[in-house]
Amino acid sequence: MKSTAAKHLIERYFRQLTEGCGNGDCTNEFCASCCDFQPLDNNSAAAKALELFKINAKLCNPSKKESDAPHSSANENTHLDSKMSDTDVFPQKEDFSDVHYLTENSVYRILSFCEEKGDYSALVRIIGRVFSSAEVLMKSFRKDEPNTAENHDSCKPPDADKHEKQSEQTSEKMGASSAAALPDEGVNETFDPCEVTVDICAVRRVYDRLLTIDQAEAAFVNALIYLTPNMELDLEYLDVYETNPDYLNIFIIVLENSNLHSPEYLEVALPQFCKAMSKLPVTALARLSKLWSTYGLPHIRRMMETFQQLITFTVVSNEYDSENLVNDDETVVAATQCLKVAFYASIQAGDVDVEHNEEDEEDPESDELTLHELLGEERLYMKGPRVDPLERELGLRPIDSIKPLIPFEDFVNESLNEVVEMDKDFTFFKVNAETKFSFQSCPFILNVITKSQGLYYDNRIRMYSERRLTALYSMVQGQQPNPYLKLKVRRDHIIDDALVRLEMISMENPSDLKKQLFVEFEGEQGVDEGGVSKEFFQLVLEEIFNPDIGMFTYDDNTKLFWFNSSSLENEAQYTLVGLVLGLAIYNNCILDVHFPMVVYRKLMGKKGAFLDLSDSHPALYQSLKQLLEYTGNVEKDMMLTFQISHTDLFGNPVLYDLKEQGDQMPVTKENRQEFVDLYTEYILNKSVERQFKAFKKGFLIVTNESPLKYLFRPEEVELLICGSRKLDFEALEKTTEYDGGYSKDSQIIKDFWETIHSFGEEQKRLFLQFTTGTDRAPVGGLGKLKMIIAKNGSDTDRLPTSHTCFNALLLPEYSSKEKLKERLLKAITYAKGFGML
């Protein structure tokens, strides 16, 4: 708003407070003509006029008689413009054709004019003209306008100060990484949200007023439909943002419309807008994400829900198949890319830790051509996009999130997960990333079941690749082909046999570990179609996690294992454990492993931090937390020093100085945070550095080229390795198939399920172990298991048998329910070993 117009408005408020409007029936409480008005002196009236101007209070229209009457020269306010009329406040043309951009006050003036006339056509024309022009909209609602500059805090959410403080802390922590990532293009490319020139609070207040008017709502929709195609062309071909970073104002203003998720927008306007927004350069998207992170939960959630609703609406309104892929739907793709901006805004607005990163050991690049490169297949077997461009620009990763503002699960779109073809999507992800969109490039929108399918395809293709290479090498060298990773082990010496074999392979030819695993137990006839491998993993883990061996310590309260810092075992044993975990993921096997979440966070590249102690060492966590919160005299009451003690393998106390001469350095209120940080660093990182480094090395030998780290969060990696702890046998019953003459209506099948449902938790786990080779549910629950129950003869005294490779139960048709239960319990309780039927 022009300063002259602002002055005129303030003067008009002053005259209204001191002289009134001349209407004897006025009901405006801020008018001197109102019968309830308390008279003000000039100083008070001047202060009140400025206050009314800021809040856009109601203005009375002076009566004709009063506005035409000359004022006495004796009037104390001769400095005010006594001849001010409506033409001074409103533009001179009633069609407002001289309005070249909008401000909050100009909108209110136009609105007042329309309300007085009882006709909103002028407002509709103004909205249509301004909101359909990128150039005009970009100049509208500027911060440098005086009308709202001092009222900026009026639109802050209740928790805005908290989030601003968090944002400042995050920015300080992100300083080095962000500075390295930012291009040197001047101050306009900074991520400081204060750099945007649009007054967001004013925009929100304007929308609050206008969206209650039906004609204005329709005008917004039509204007957006007209605006967005031109924006898309400007961004794609003219690089308008690089020329003028204020182009981002358009997106900021449009996205403040709280009705964008309504049906009027979902058909055309919002899809076109998302397509334009997806064309923004990554620097602009990063600024937008940083800005949104200061908005507070309600606004970020609204953004997220707007894009989610568009994706869901589009998916359920269309039919997709192998010929018509959802990856080719421009609306879904664009909305997903916009949702990514809200996803990173949620991370920034929550609790983050961009420090405490494990050092990644990069594989040295070789100048020699690989066989894949010679065959022209290097793109299929490349490591893939390890860092998202927006992630790099922000200097922030999902793994850095301690607790996002909006839970990660809320960004998953189940409707999309049901229609995405992961075999095709995987190809786009690995091969056609430049020309085809893959939802694996936005993994936050996929659930863990869908992502595990993508990982499965990646693992299988690598297995087939190694099989082909083995066949090719054997032809060239005239040797017998060995397409599998074969392990022949003795049950009584399983650790020694597995360790020796895997250690030799990892040193001589690590690529053999990418072959499909094939396990053979010496003296047994079982052929490994998956079930023998499951048994192998189980036996290895039982041996390794045996407390008598001393590689890991076990907490009876948490039921979790942790690395034994004083273990006498060498690194090779820990490398074997890492290898086993990696091979389990690679061969799609579920393990009975009980690690705290910090282990998976460390595997994904984060060091253990204080909050991780709550899971791994809860008693210590509570003690340190009480120390930090203690309000008394820490030094005298606690009597702690920077020397700590713990017990070794044999129960003997071991002293450790957190700082040099720590036994002489008392813990005080001033240095207690440092004490807690050093204590945490020692327990979770330093004390187990040797053991964990070997463990991680073994894990990465198998998974270093996998998209695992890119696609999955730590809690999802745990789910991949360990499966679900929740056993829903109702879901298993619904998905079970029958063969050999059985059906769900067979009496023996009805008796079988009644028996299973009557089992206790331990007996149910034994049944799962007997039938599938593991007592855990796969990713997605037991409903994803696809168990088969086949008839194995008529009534007999033989026990039920199983093919764990195929999750198949061979069940004789027993004569009674009691006999069925007795035979089944004996089978699942004493089953061990493999044989040929």
Compute and round to an integer the Cα radius of gyration of the chain.
35
Burial class of 206 by CB neighbour count within 10 A (0 to 12, 13 to 18, 19+): buried
How many CB atoms within 10 Å of residue 186?
8
Q: List the one residue out of 381, 326, 466 whose CA is nearest residue 707.
A: 381
What are the residues whose beta carbons fall under 8 Å from the beta carbon of 508, sequence distance 6 or more? none
Q: Is 393:286 a contact under the CB 8 Å cutoff?
A: yes
Tell me the two tokens of residue 73: 């020269």
Tell me whether residue 120 is exposed, middle or buried, using C-beta atoms within 10 angstroms of its C-beta: 0 to 12, 13 to 18, 19 or more.
buried
Residue with tokens 């786990």: 765
Cα separations (Å) of 588 from 280, 526, 532?
39, 19, 13
Are 142 and 199 spatial neighbours (Cβ–Cβ below 8 Å)?
yes
Can you give the length of the chain in residues? 837
281 within 8 A of 241, measured Cβ to Cβ = yes
Q: Which residues pair with 802 in a beta bridge?
A: 809
Nearest-CA neighbor of 171 among 352, 50, 381? Answer: 352
Query: Where are the alpha helices (H) located in 422-565, listed in sequence order?
Result: 422-430, 448-477, 494-508, 531-544
Do 425 and 454 meet the contact criterion of CB atoms below 8 Å apart?
yes
First-residue to last-residue Cα distance in the chain: 89
Question: Where do runs of H (alpha helix) occur along 431-487?
Answer: 448-477
Q: For the residues of 281-345, what is the DSSP string, one character each?
A: -HHHHHHHHHHHTTS-HHHHHHHHHHHHHHHHHHHHTS---SSS-GGG-HHHHHHHHHHHHHHHH
In whole angstroms, how far apart are CA 640 and each of 406, 445, 636, 682? 39, 48, 9, 16
Distance between CA atoms of residues 673 and 660, nearest Å: 17
| H or E element that contains 242 | helix 240-243
Q: Helix, strand, or coil here: 646?
A: strand
CA separation for the pair 198, 249 (Å, rounded): 6
Instruction: Name residue, tokens 């020093």.
Output: 641
Of 26, 155, 338, 805, which is the active-site residue?
805
Which amino acid, 242?
E
Pinpoint the alpha helices (H) of 553-688: 571-586, 597-603, 613-616, 618-629, 634-638, 672-681
Distance CA 317, CA 331 (A): 12
Helices then strands, counting H and E runs in the chain, come out as 37, 12
Amino acid at 473: Y
| The amino acid at 696 | K
Q: Is 487 helix (H, G, I), strand (E, B) or coil?
A: strand
Half-sphere exposure of 712 (CA within 13 A, CB side): 27
Q: 694: which residues sit within 8 A by CB, 6+ positions away?
A: 571, 572, 573, 574, 575, 578
What element of type H or E holds 764?
helix 761-772
Query: Residue 805 catalytic?
Result: yes
Q: Which residues are catalytic?
A: 805
